[in-house]
Amino acid sequence: MTTAGSSPAILTDATHISQGAEAASLKVYKALLHQSSNSESTPVFLKYRFNKQYRHPTLDTSLTRSRIAGEARTVLKCLRSGVHVPGLRLVDASEGILGFEWIEGKSVRMLLGGGAEGEEEIEYSENLPEDEISDETPESELESAYRITPDALMSMIGSEIGKMHLADVIHGDLTTSNMMLHWTSSANSSPSVELVLVDFGLAYTSSLVEDKAVDLYVLERAFNSTHPDSEPLFAIVLEVYGKRVGKEWTSIKRRLDDVRLRGRKRSMVG
């Protein structure tokens, strides 16, 4: 197994974590990554695509390699385009393993009061000052622990999705569960709040207006089903997204209206 920098890697203390959309095809873990026996350990988020007994071994190996490589390429493309995504830490396509930077924070779904998607969601608060960790309601926690308003959070979401689509990356599973809010800092800057898009297992590259509109529609449906009375919030997402993508917004907005209409028709006919 090698890291993204091609150095030998050792993984220890792997703890299984439940996962939502792709739970049937992979397992996820929090583990410690050691570049060498003497190096300091780094927490990583591991995605393991296990062998499928119902598939021919050759086909299974080929599909696993393709999906691991595809997700790694997509994440690297996002990183190069300035999209906030977890850093890639290791790739082992033959074993079906991807390792990502561990993001300490909370999902937007939890912060907006939506809870987890049918399962317990881990809460990460180790990076927050002790006086900011509380049992407050999600709305007040957003403003006290992360010091931003819901409107500001929606602006961050619209901006990140806009950057991603300008890079022609389609997420494929845009929900508030796949967005993490966390504190970040560097030697040259003071701590700031950052929104990170995660889980690119269903992502692909496309410049088609249709695909970008469908990506937005998936997120809109997630807002409607998870966060009551969220229409004003999602309107801010689209407003900031439109400013980010610029001249592309006119055609994407028109196609989004078409996708909404098709979605309503499908709902009416069952």
- Please answer whether residues 223 and 161 qualify as being in contact, where contact means their C-beta atoms are separated by less than 8 angstroms: no
Alpha-carbon 254 to chain mean position:
26
> What is the Cα–Cα distance from 58 to 89, expressed in whole angstroms?
27
> What is the Cα–Cα distance from 241 to 222, expressed in whole angstroms?
17
DSSP 121-148: -----TTS-GGG-----HHHHHHHHS--
- Please answer whether residues 3 and 33 qualify as being in contact, where contact means their C-beta atoms are separated by less than 8 angstroms: yes
Helix (H) or strand (E) holding 10: strand 10-17
Catalytic hit among 173, 199, 211, 215: 173
Question: Could you give phi then psi for residue 127, rounded to 5 degrees?
Answer: -90, 0
Question: Could you give phi then psi for residue 31, rounded to 5 degrees?
Answer: -140, 170
How far is CA 196 from each of CA 34, 79, 158, 179, rounded to the nearest angstrom? Answer: 24, 11, 12, 6
Q: Does the annotation mark 199 as catalytic?
A: no
> What is the Cα–Cα distance from 169 to 161, expressed in whole angstroms?
9
Which residue numbers are catalytic? Answer: 173
